[in-house]
Structure 1
Amino acid sequence: MAFVLTIAGMMAAAGPIGPSLEIDLSPRAVSGKVEAIDVTLVFEGVTAGADAPLLQIPLVSSNVDTVATGLTRVDARDAKGPIALVLHDVERPVQAAGDAEIGGKMREWNAVRAVSGRLTVRYTVPAHATLPPRGAAPPFAFSNDGQATSGAGHIFLLLPPGNAAYRTTVKWDLSKLPAGSKGVSSYGGGNATASEPLNASQLRMAYYMAGRIGTWPWPTPQRGFFAAWQGTPPFDAQALMGWTRDLYDRYAAFFGQKEPPQYGVFLRYNPINAGGGVGLYHSFVTTFGKPGLHGSDVDEVKSTLAHEMFHTFSPYIEEPAGLESSWFGEGLATFYQRRLPLRFGLITPAKFLEDLNFHAGRYYTSAMGDAPNGEVPKRFWADTRIRTLPYDRGMLYFADVDQKVRKRSGGKRSVDDLMLAMLALNKAGKTTTNADWEHLLEAELGASAVQEFRAFLAGKAPVPASDAFGPCFRSTTRPMRRYELGFDSAVLAEPRRIVRGVTAGSAAAAAGLKDGDEILVPVPQDQIQGEQGARLKLHVRRDGRDFDIEYLPRGETVDARQWELVPGADTRSCGI
């Protein structure tokens, strides 16, 4: 397989010509399996002084190792000939990139002399992940199952530092792949050009998939929805994509987009943590599992699709950067992932309740439910109970605000209006902060709402009113058990998972887990945490012997808030 990404362009239609970039990606298949990708980058208009950073890539992106540590050779040449490169690992300030973040530990290549003229860079990357997963993470790393490969720009694009924007075109050369192969990226199917100039952050937030893949429709449209999947999902992918296209069109109308831009959905198999997803540039990727396991239920996948697609349209808070503001972006997406599909008639009230109670149960049984929001970026990857707070606690907070706005306005206004006001600030180019949200809250609900928001950030549990989710639903309480891993959760986010801190009297200890055991297979927890009866299986090594330990990771019982259908409710009019 080979695919070529070309980025060439102008800073604006009537403006001066800016830098351009052409990226050739030539994967090599052996017996139908894609093994490596030869990458060639051709830059025009890129300059760098002697000993200045020329190319860079994070060492780790959202808990996923990039190709940086495995690159044994990077060749560079400009108009004057070969350029010697010096490798450096540096720490860069973390900055906001939409609702994500960039910076941190970076690998950089410095030119020993000044660069001028056309710059060509060549290197080879594996078409599959070569390092073991660190634990919970988005599906960025290359995966080459099913006579295809796919991965995100996050983990393989070496790009110059800075904020220059490039016109992006993707071209695919599939001559080294099995017959019938296709190539699709976030920019569309086959040869495609991005609708706007893209900076380095946006370029990395694109997805690439090529080989013996499924597509819907084909050829992909110049505008609107398309999809591609790698492998064989345990559900009707064509039907699911038809449902998703309908939801996308409804989202576009809700957000006032008369001509929505091109938007792609990517699906692939995930043996570790199926069912999750991540929003990218005009696209998102989600994963499926084997029949009967997580990620095989089409309704579960629909919920993920509704969540991630919402991110494409929704506002975000830019300062503080990254995970500290994820309560806003992830909380909104979790709130709307069921609210809008129910409003549009695309899910049933029963499915609405199922999704709501999963998130409410996961939060109200969490021993970390009162952790301050400031702890989220510190422990996001180390503890599933912290990682899920922005989603669950954020969702319940927005439900509480929504109910209060509806009540005060007599049903004329809702959290929709506040969310769209924040989006207008984003579109106007303002660097949005918590203060912008507080300004909207005070105008809508008074000063007390600002104090409640600050208490929420400090860890106070949101407690929405019984009818916060509409007239068809009411709150109740049920006895539920807290999630209890039974050992130091940070172990599961480490490259080598050596158990420590086994809790005496825990289910893990009762099942025979001991300090010093090595967990050989990554352990997904986010879904299990929300399922009261889900058992945890650890594949461990002890004294040279490999075996499984399985147990129910639950501790004390608490009364947790849940919601139920109001008896006699007219389920035809539950959406609000």
Structure 2
Amino acid sequence: MPLISSNVDSVATVLSHLEANDDLGPLALSARDEKLPVRAARDAEIGGVSRIWSAARDISGTLTVHYTVPADATLPARGGAPPFAFSNDGNATSAAGHVFLMLPPNDAAYETSVRWDLSGLPEGAKGVSSFGSGAAKSPEPLDASQLRMTFFMAGDIGVWPYPTPESGFFSAWQGDPPFEPRALMEWTRDLYGEYAQFFGQDAPPPYGVFLRYNPVNAGGGVGLYHSFVTTFGKAGGQGSDIAELKMTLAHEMFHTFSPYIEQPAGLESSWFGEGLATLYMRKLPFRFGLLTADEFLENLNFHAGRYYTNILATAPNSEVPKRFWEDTRIRTLPYDRGMLYFADLDDKIRKRSDGERSLDDLVLAMLDKEKAGKTLANEDWIAVLRAELGAGAVKDFKAFLMGEEPLPVSDAFGPCFRRTTKPLRRYELGFDPGVLRETRRVVSGLEPGSAAAKAGLRNGDEIVFPVPQDKIQGDQDLELKLRIRRDGEEFDLSYLPRGETVEAYQWEMAPDAEPDACRF
């Protein structure tokens, strides 16, 4: 079990009542911590410093392991992170396998079943996993990385449809969303069906969407095994806007279908998966009539504005794995810069082929390689680029990895939209961003004259609660709200984390555009 999974602490250090038995009886276990190789696990990573439990003798027959974990509400104390941690909001609990499943340390695949004992819970309690509701079996044998990427939710939860179908879409939610969850889930089901058709899945496996409350970074989500998790906030606050939640759902669901580059391992290849998802989460729903032109533009301009105001916009891709969890300006590059690179590439393919081909063809070609058992690498992407557009496209790709700023042409997002510029201010935290990754967040590196300094923040102040930044970085008007501890006293402090103004690229409707004819 990893000690930390994608910036979230697992229960490795707090589990209790650990017992192991085989056909010969009890097993004595010893624990050690070891740094395992970091590997890609679709939308996350596995490996890193992990706790390994070993038996004092060889195993004989069936191995049974029991342990107890605290199903308390937990926060990703290290800052920005996917919703893996336990939550006990709304008389229910949920968590991803990443943070509580003890698994065999090998690459073997196992038949996997989930069974729930809910006898200690109030009448009507339900249990749902990535495999479906109640007692459920995985649609295929799973290896350790896939097992970790399952999600579990039980207690007083909403489930639709119920019982869950043997194949296709289902959903579950925990707590009290500030919107009608079923209506949102019906939209998501329709999009799932369109995705399945686009990716050629005639009989898609079970696919679950889980919703739960997030007091720290509401509105975010993460793709998991045949499922994904998204989070909501309080009414009127972050994570309560249906349009934004649709984009999160569209993004994470795309991950389930799309190919992944796994070499180089981990976050160095996130430009591919996250860049594609950030483009297609808007492009496909718009194509299928599930998104309006105005909604398309709003989301496009959020990501374009966040990128073209980013002072680290030209940082090389090699910096991403080093500083991903440390600095939001680095963390958002695979999403924003990747999206703009793919939009530019899509436009070039369309125009080169007179509309006969597009980025879709390259994505599906990569998926065919993956389905054939190929572990995808940058070289595979280079091969499809060279075959499609020649050596120039390969040169452009290598320049992109080195940090060159992508700039799609005016009509790259279709004939109804045109490129323009708008004065926007750069995101400026005002102190060392690495502070926010620490368990105890003590301000250092305060920049004199910054908005943070003018608001009264001081070096040595302790920031009590985790601070989400990814959305604030892209929203010109959102203030950063901090709970500060200074000299034994706590107080609130807020400021607009903005610096210099720059002319940033945006897109707008062309004067003669007909919104109903904009899809491409």
Calculate the TM-score normalised by the size of structure 1: 0.89
Q: What residue is the counterpart of 2:12 in the other structure?
A: 68
Q: What residue is the counterpart of 1:243 in the other structure?
A: 187
Per the TM alignment, residue 63 of structure 1 is displaced from its structure 2 partner at its CA by 0.3
Aligned-partner Cα distance in 2 for 1:513–1:97: 39
Preserved CA contact (<8 Å) 2:481 2:493: yes
Unaligned 5+ runs, structure 2: none
> 1:253-264, aligned counterparts within 5 Å?
253-264=197-208
Preserved CA contact (<8 Å) 1:224 1:262: yes
> 1:372-387, aligned counterparts within 5 Å?
372-387=316-331
Per the TM alignment, residue 355 of structure 1 is displaced from its structure 2 partner at its CA by 0.2
Preserved CA contact (<8 Å) 2:74 2:87: no
More strand by share: 1
Runs of 4+ displaced beyond 3 Å:
129-132
Q: CA deviation digits over 1:53-97, x for unaligned, max 9?
A: xxxx00000000000111244211222222111110111112233
RMSD (Å) for aligned C-alpha atoms:
1.0
Task: Specify whether residues 457 and 287 from structure 1 end up closer, same or farther in structure 2 by C-alpha distance, changes over 3 A only.
Answer: same
Q: What residue is the counterpart of 2:24 in the other structure?
A: 80
Q: What residue is the counterpart of 1:134 in the other structure?
A: 78
Q: CA deviation digits over 1:274-330, x for unaligned, max 9?
A: 000000000000000001111100110000000000001001101001100000000
2:445 aligned with 1:482, yes or no?
A: no
Per the TM alignment, residue 573 of structure 1 is displaced from its structure 2 partner at its CA by 1.3
Aligned-partner Cα distance in 1 for 2:179–2:512: 33
- The counterpart of 1:388, out of the listed 332, 347, 350, is 332
Aligned-partner Cα distance in 1 for 2:514–2:451: 43
Question: Counterpart of 1:102 in structure 2: which amino acid?
Answer: I
> 1:215-254, aligned counterparts within 5 Å?
215-254=159-198
- The counterpart of 2:360, out of the listed 409, 416, 419, is 416
2:464 aligned with 1:496, yes or no?
A: no
**59-68 vs 97-106, greater mean Cα deviation:** 97-106
Q: What residue is the counterpart of 2:224 in the other structure?
A: 280
Aligned-partner Cα distance in 1 for 2:243–2:44: 27
Per the TM alignment, residue 100 of structure 1 is displaced from its structure 2 partner at its CA by 3.4
Question: Counterpart of 1:509 in structure 2: which amino acid?
Answer: A
> 1:82-121, aligned counterparts within 5 Å?
82-121=26-65
Per the TM alignment, residue 200 of structure 1 is displaced from its structure 2 partner at its CA by 1.1
Aligned-partner Cα distance in 1 for 2:264–2:43: 10
Q: What residue is the counterpart of 2:119 in the other structure?
A: 175
Question: Counterpart of 1:202 in structure 2: which amino acid?
Answer: Q
Question: Counterpart of 2:124 in structure 1: which amino acid?
Answer: G
Aligned-partner Cα distance in 1 for 2:424–2:159: 42
Task: Specify whether residues 130 and 243 from structure 1 end up closer, same or farther in structure 2 by C-alpha distance, changes over 3 A only.
Answer: closer
Aligned-partner Cα distance in 2 for 1:451–1:130: 46
Per the TM alignment, residue 121 of structure 1 is displaced from its structure 2 partner at its CA by 1.4
Aligned-partner Cα distance in 2 for 1:228–1:61: 24
Task: Specify whether residues 130 and 464 from structure 1 end up closer, same or farther in structure 2 by C-alpha distance, changes over 3 A only.
Answer: closer
2:518 aligned with 1:518, yes or no?
A: no
Preserved CA contact (<8 Å) 2:482 2:494: yes
> What secondary structure sits across from 2:366 in the alignment?
helix
Q: What residue is the counterpart of 1:454 in the other structure?
A: 398
Per the TM alignment, residue 131 of structure 1 is displaced from its structure 2 partner at its CA by 6.8
Unaligned 5+ runs, structure 1: 1-56
Aligned-partner Cα distance in 1 for 2:390–2:74: 54
Per the TM alignment, residue 115 of structure 1 is displaced from its structure 2 partner at its CA by 1.6
Question: Counterpart of 1:142 in structure 2: which amino acid?
Answer: F
2:130 aligned with 1:186, yes or no?
A: yes
Q: What residue is the counterpart of 1:469 in the other structure?
A: 413
Aligned-partner Cα distance in 2 for 1:374–1:438: 17
> What secondary structure sits across from 1:559 in the alignment?
strand
Q: CA deviation digits over 1:94-133, x for unaligned, max 9?
A: 2233353321101011111222112221111011245762
Preserved CA contact (<8 Å) 1:58 1:103: yes
> What secondary structure sits across from 2:13 in the alignment?
helix
Question: Counterpart of 2:331 in structure 1: which amino acid?
Answer: R
Question: Counterpart of 1:570 in structure 2: which amino acid?
Answer: E
Q: CA deviation digits over 1:218-251, x for unaligned, max 9?
A: 1111111000000111111111111000000000
Aligned-partner Cα distance in 2 for 1:430–1:218: 37
Per the TM alignment, residue 520 of structure 1 is displaced from its structure 2 partner at its CA by 0.3
Q: What residue is the counterpart of 2:346 in the other structure?
A: 402
**560-569 vs 98-107, greater mean Cα deviation:** 98-107
Aligned-partner Cα distance in 1 for 2:419–2:30: 61
